[in-house]
Structure 1
Amino acid sequence: MFRNREEAAEQIAARLEHHRGSNPLVLAIPRGGVPMGQVIADRLEGELDIVLVHKIGAPGNPEFAIGSVDETGHVELNPGVERYGISPDYIDSEAERQLENIRKRRQRYRRPPTRAEGRVAILVDDGIATGATLFAAIRSLRAQNPSRLVVGVGVAPPDTVERIRREVDELVCLEAPAEFMAVGQFFQDFRQVEDEEVIAALGGESS
């Protein structure tokens, strides 16, 4: 168990020390990944930004992710979603609704997206459950042609870790426990990260 996100971030940064000096672009998934991304960017002398993706919830159960959408509008569905018989019209409308939420969040954070083209891109989050959000972020970044795509996370289930490994150039996952219920169970301090903290980390002024 990690004391907090910052402790996990220090461990990830230590394993990515070989990227220090290359001006890596550290892309945190808000909001929980941002405190970690800030530590990693500082340690590796890189630049911090965020990558915005949003899960698409199932009909009648919005907390159950069936996929996700990124800032470009690209939809990534989870494997096996077709067996639920969800209509394409529902997926299209829900994706558009979540895309509008992404646009509002980008405006709230007062930061235009930084392009990853030609750079080492390090995608950071505190932990991964289903991976829907992370895989959408990976697809979004791949389309920008980074020189190297790296993922650093604190904890994820073993099967998700193997799926991630196949999609990226380098992966640091500190823990991959077989008994996985939720990301928060592996952090003593798993406080909610507020928008004001994200804005401050990105160099804006919180209000």
Structure 2
Amino acid sequence: MFKDRLDAAHQLTKALNKYEGQNPLVLAIPRGAVPMGVWMAQALHGEMDVVLVRKLSAPFQPEVAIGAVDETGLAYLSPFAAAMGINPQYVKDEIQRQMKTLKSRRQQYSQIRAPIPVQGRVVIVVDDGLATGATMMSALKALRQHHPQRLVCAIPVASPEALAKIQPLADETVCLSAPEDFMAVAQFYQQFPQVDDAQVLALLQPKFSA
């Protein structure tokens, strides 16, 4: 159990302290992980940015992920998506919906500063937890194409199934807990408030992320 996201970030940083002094690039998955990424980058004496991916939601069940898409349009679909009998047109429409959100966020974030290049860097991708692992899988696949020196996945908690899916996609995976009774990320936090766009934009200001 974590007190809040900053408590989780503090514990993750301890597990990642070997990267202190290597100027790691900490990439947070918006929105929940952004406060974590800011704290971790400062503690590790690195830089912080975001990696933009979006969950693809199941019909009539927006909390259920059937996959994810990155800002280039590359989509990952969970194997069970086909088993659910989801209409292919729904999937195409959902990808387009989420791409609009990604483009809007990139436009907002770019007004603050340009994305930090990944190539040749130690890159630590952080999220506040993994249920299906779809967004983290999408993020890791997208980042691998930009040739980081080392690609690290860092999460406080994950379902065992999600952890097994993402481990082959990273050079190293740091996960503090993968309990068998996992039902939702929020169950492992005493405080788990929503992080809104205004908070993300404020945290991306250079005074926070430098």
Q: Does 1:25 align with 2:25?
A: yes
Pairing of 1:140-179 with structure 2 (within 5 A): 140-179=142-181
Q: Does 1:3 align with 2:3?
A: yes
Structure 2: distance between partners of 1:113 and 1:48: 10
Pairing of 1:1-207 with structure 2 (within 5 A): 1-109=1-109, 110=111, 111-203=113-205
Contact 2:132 2:161 in 1 (8 A): no
Instruction: Note the C-alpha offset of 1:203.
Output: 1.1
Sequence identity percentage: 50
Structure 1: distance between partners of 2:17 and 2:106: 30
Give the letter for the 2:70 counterpart: D
Contact 1:26 1:46 in 2 (8 A): yes
5+ residue gaps, structure 1, are none
Give the letter for the 1:149 counterpart: L
The more displaced of 21-30 and 104-113 is 104-113
Structure 2: distance between partners of 1:59 and 1:189: 29
Q: Secondary structure at the match of 2:142?
A: helix
Instruction: Note the C-alpha offset of 1:4.
Output: 1.1
Structure 2: distance between partners of 1:150 and 1:184: 23
Contact 1:117 1:145 in 2 (8 A): yes
Contact 1:149 1:168 in 2 (8 A): yes
TM-score of the pair, normalised by structure 2: 0.91
Give the letter for the 2:133 counterpart: G
Contact 1:55 1:132 in 2 (8 A): yes
Q: Secondary structure at the match of 2:162?
A: helix
Contact 1:54 1:98 in 2 (8 A): yes
TM-score of the pair, normalised by structure 1: 0.93
Closer, same or farther in 2 for the Cα pair 1:33/1:56, shift >3 Å? Answer: same
Contact 1:106 1:112 in 2 (8 A): no
Please list the CA deviations of residues 143-179 of structure 1 after superposition, one character each: whole Å capped at 9, or x if unmatched: 1111111011111112221222222111111111111
5+ residue gaps, structure 2, are none
Give the letter for the 1:56 counterpart: L
Give the letter for the 1:30 counterpart: P
Contact 1:123 1:151 in 2 (8 A): yes
Closer, same or farther in 2 for the Cα pair 1:64/1:43, shift >3 Å? Answer: same
